[in-house]
Amino acid sequence: MAALVAKLAKNWKPVSPAPMRCQQQASALGLRAALLASTLYLLVGGAGVGSAGVGSAQELRGETPAGSEGELLVKVKEEVPKRKSDPIPPLAIPLSDAASLARIPDDVMERKGLQLVLDRKHHQLLVLKDGLMTRRFPAAVGTTGWETPAGRFRVFEKVKEPLWTHPVSGELVDAESEKNPLGSRWIGFHRDCKGRTGWDGEQYLDINGCTVAGFHGTPFRWTVGRAVSHGCVRLYEENVQEVFDLVRVGTQVTVLP
C-alpha cells in the first residue's frame, strides 16, 4: 500500500483550473462507517485544499486536507501492530452565550471589526463584530492527535463550490454531489509544511508534505459537533455559506485550545 501511495503522489497532476484548489492537495484518511469498518482513500496534488473518502466510509474523517509543495508522501504504517479503532467521539456539551464569551481572551474581545473564534474544546464557532457575538455555530474539529491547530491566523483562501477529484479513479466531483466531502464552501486559514504522523483513531498515518486547515461544509450532518477530522472544521451547509459571505481574505481567526 505504501508503494502505491508513493507512486500516486509522484505521478498525480491537477486537472482543474487554478482557482479550484480544493482538489489539488493530498490526504490519507482512515474513516469509520456505521460501526468500525475502515477504508483508505487518497487525494494527491499541489497547493490548496484536499479531501478524501467516497460513500459512507468518508463520514467521520473524510475532509482533512494535506497538500504538497513538491513530492508528497502519504503512508499507512502497516508495520505497527493491529489496534482497535477508537470509539466515535461524543458531541460536545453545550455552553451558554455567557460561558462561551468568558473563554475568549480580553485582547481578542477588544478587536474592532468582524472576526472568527473557534472554541476547539467545546466544538463551536463564534462570529464576533466589534466585541459582540453575532452568531454561534456548532462545529466538528480535529480528532485526538490531529487537532485543529490552535493560535491566531487569518483567512487566506475562499473557494465557492469547490471541486474534488478522486485520486484513484480520476473522477471529478462537483460540490453538489454526495460524493464530495467538502460541501459547498471552503475557507482556508492555516497551512503547515512540517508533515504529520500518528494514530488517527483508526490507523497510523505518516504524511510528508503540507497540511491545510479550513472551514467547510459537509454532507454528513451528524458529524458536526464532534472531534472527528484530521484538523479541518466542518459546519452545517447553511452555516458555512453564511460564514463564507461574512468573511473576506484577511479576516482574523482565533482557535482556542
Cα dihedral sign for 200, 169, 215, 92? negative
Q: For residues 257 and 238, give the distance between their C-alpha atoms in angstroms, rounded to a whole number.
A: 26
Q: In this structure, how many other beta carbons lie within 10 angstroms of the beta carbon of residue 171?
A: 12
| Residue 7 in this model has a pLDDT that exceeds 90 | no
What pLDDT score does 187 carry? 97
Residue 75's pLDDT band, with cuts at 50, 70 and 90, is: low
| Residue 132 in this model has a pLDDT that exceeds 70 | yes
Name the residue with higher pLDDT: 176 or 52: 176
The mean pLDDT of 66-92, rounded to a whole number, is: 61
Q: Are 257 and 233 in contact (CB under 8 A)?
A: no
Of 23, 76, 32, 73, nearest to 52 (Cα)? 23
Residue 73's pLDDT band, with cuts at 50, 70 and 90, is: low
What pLDDT score does 214 carry? 95
Q: For residues 22 and 157, give the distance between their C-alpha atoms in angstroms, rounded to a whole number.
A: 10
The whole domain housing 149 covers 2-256
**Number of separate domains in the chain:** 1
Residue 224's pLDDT band, with cuts at 50, 70 and 90, is: very high
Name the residue with higher pLDDT: 75 or 22: 75
Q: For residues 186 and 20, give the distance between their C-alpha atoms in angstroms, rounded to a whole number.
A: 10
| Residue 30 in this model has a pLDDT that exceeds 60 | no
Name the residue with higher pLDDT: 68 or 171: 171
Compute CA 165 distance to the chain's CA centroid, rounded to the nearest angstrom: 16
| Residue 53 in this model has a pLDDT that exceeds 60 | no
Strands 185-192 and 157-160: antiparallel
What pLDDT score does 112 carry? 97
Q: For residues 128 and 117, give the distance between their C-alpha atoms in angstroms, rounded to a whole number.
A: 7
Name the residue with higher pLDDT: 157 or 69: 157
Helix intervals (H) in 13-126: 97-102, 106-109
Domain at 192, CATH number: 2.40.440.10
| Residue 8 in this model has a pLDDT that exceeds 50 | no
| Residue 159 in this model has a pLDDT that exceeds 60 | yes
The mean pLDDT of 62-68, rounded to a whole number, is: 37
Q: Are 236 and 99 in contact (CB under 8 A)?
A: no
| Residue 252 in this model has a pLDDT that exceeds 90 | yes
Residue 77's pLDDT band, with cuts at 50, 70 and 90, is: low
Mean pLDDT of the chain: 73
Residue 188 corresponds to which amino acid? G
Of 172, 245, 168, nearest to 12 (Cα)? 168
The mean pLDDT of 5-21, rounded to a whole number, is: 35
Q: Are 60 and 88 in contact (CB under 8 A)?
A: yes
What pLDDT score does 206 carry? 79
* Strand ranges, E, within 120-184: 124-129, 132-138, 141-142, 151-154, 157-160, 164-165, 172-173
Q: Are 62 and 27 in contact (CB under 8 A)?
A: no
Q: For residues 106 and 102, give the distance between their C-alpha atoms in angstroms, rounded to a whole number.
A: 9
Three cell numbers, residue 174: 462537483
Name the residue with higher pLDDT: 98 or 82: 98
- Bridge partners, 31 (sequence order): 39
